[in-house]
Amino acid sequence: MAIGFPQCPLVKAWSYSRLGTYQSCPLKFKLTAIDKMEEPKGPAMERGNVIHGLAEAYLKGEKKTLPKELKLQEGVFKDLRARIKKAPHLVEVEQMWGFTSDWQLTRWDNWTGCWLRVKLDVAHVDEPTNTVVITDWKTGKFRPDNLQDYVKQLGLYGLAALLKYEHLGPTLKVQPRLVYLDNPTIYQGGSEEPLTFVPKDVAKLKKLWEKEVKPLFNDRVFAPKPNQWCGWCHFRKDNGGPCQY
């Protein structure tokens, strides 16, 4: 187990989205992740799920023509579809990778040992350059004021892929990207060149994420954290929820 994590934590595992919920409001994290209280899905989330399903179906060949909802990124989809037809073993679609607390690969449904779960839409290997490209589909707006969070997410994808594809050797490169389906944006974390992760980055990234999640695993209170999103929270006081705000 990574140094500094309690042996019997209330929290057994994390993901990027779970960590984001915790950092936004620890109480909301407790209610959803520990107490398993359900939060209704809004129209935007429902639509996102539908579009993700269309993307998966197209790449797996279940839909022969590209759905209109994906047309703004037609080039990306057709490239991936061609790669799958040519070398399906080099492309993974809709995966959940699992890691133990000492960063070893494990099954995502290892309910006692899986410490981190990384959900990704597509990972493909470009053999000529020994590069793994991670693709995450995004619906909604690209927000230039949110670049710090985008880069953090790309960094976690980078670390996960470096560990997953370690067998590709010291020349391995990982280039994660956020591909927006409601506009033609592809964000790769760099102003000119794509953000690229290499094996020498692994130790630094591990330390960064262990520090990032330590408060989550040490928390025993999960106090509410009032913020600008409280008015939309299902668990807010004036909605009959358990939160005091």
pTM reported for the whole predicted model: 0.93
Query: Average pLDDT, stretch 179-196?
Result: 92
DSSP-derived 3-state class of residue 162: helix
6 against 167, higher pLDDT: 167
The reply to whether 128 falls in a domain is yes
Query: Average pLDDT, stretch 166-184?
Result: 97
User: What is the pLDDT, as a whole number, of residue 9?
Assistant: 67
Query: Average pLDDT, stretch 214-243?
Result: 94
User: What's the pLDDT band for 3 if we cut at 50, 70, 90?
Assistant: very low
Domain that holds residue 217: 16-239
The reply to whether 139 falls in a domain is yes
User: What's the pLDDT band for 152 if we cut at 50, 70, 90?
Assistant: very high
Name the residue among 52, 41, 12, 45 with its Cα closest to residue 135. Answer: 52
Token couple for 174: 């990982």
Distance of CA 154 to the CA centre of its chain: 8
Instruction: Beginning with the edge strand found earlier in the chain, give each strand of the sheet holding 91-99 in spatial order.
Output: 105-106, 91-99, 116-126, 131-138, 173-180, 186-187
What distance in Å separates the CA atoms of residue 140 and residue 126, rounded to the nearest whole number? 28
Q: What is the CATH number of the domain that holds 47?
A: 3.90.320
Alpha-carbon distance values, 204 to 201, 207, 208, 209, 245 (Å): 6, 5, 6, 9, 38
The reply to whether 134 falls in a domain is yes
Kindly give, in sequence order, each residue whose CB lies less than 8 Å from that of residue 209, ignoring residues fewer than 6 positions away.
156, 159
The reply to whether 123 falls in a domain is yes
Query: Average pLDDT, stretch 192-200?
Result: 94
Q: For the chain, what is the mean pLDDT?
A: 94
What distance in Å separates the CA atoms of residue 195 and residue 156, rounded to the nearest whole number? 12
Residue 148 has pLDDT above 50, yes or no: yes
Name the residue among 113, 126, 6 with its Cα closest to residue 105. Answer: 113
In 3-state terms the chain splits into helix, strand, coil percentages (rounded to 5) of 45, 15, 40
The reply to whether 7 falls in a domain is no
What distance in Å separates the CA atoms of residue 156 and residue 11, rounded to the nearest whole number? 19
The reply to whether 10 falls in a domain is no
Least confident of 2-11, 44-53, 133-142, 192-201: 2-11
List pLDDT tens digits, range 102-131: 999 999 999 999 999 999 999 999 999 999
Name the residue among 175, 196, 78, 186 with its Cα closest to residue 132. Answer: 175
CA dihedral 30, 153, 133, 49 (to 10 degrees): 50
The reply to whether 229 falls in a domain is yes
Query: Average pLDDT, stretch 58-79?
Result: 97
The domain tally of the chain equals 1
The reply to whether 76 falls in a domain is yes
Neighbours of 185 (CB within 10 A): 15
User: What is the pLDDT, as a whole number, of residue 41?
Assistant: 85
8 A C-beta contact, residue 44 and residue 139: yes
Residue 224 backbone phi and psi in degrees, to 5: -65, 150
What distance in Å separates the CA atoms of residue 230 and residue 244, rounded to the nearest whole number? 11
User: What is the pLDDT, as a whole number, of residue 220?
Assistant: 92
List pLDDT tens digits, range 21-68: 999 999 999 999 999 999 898 898 899 999 999 999 999 999 999 999
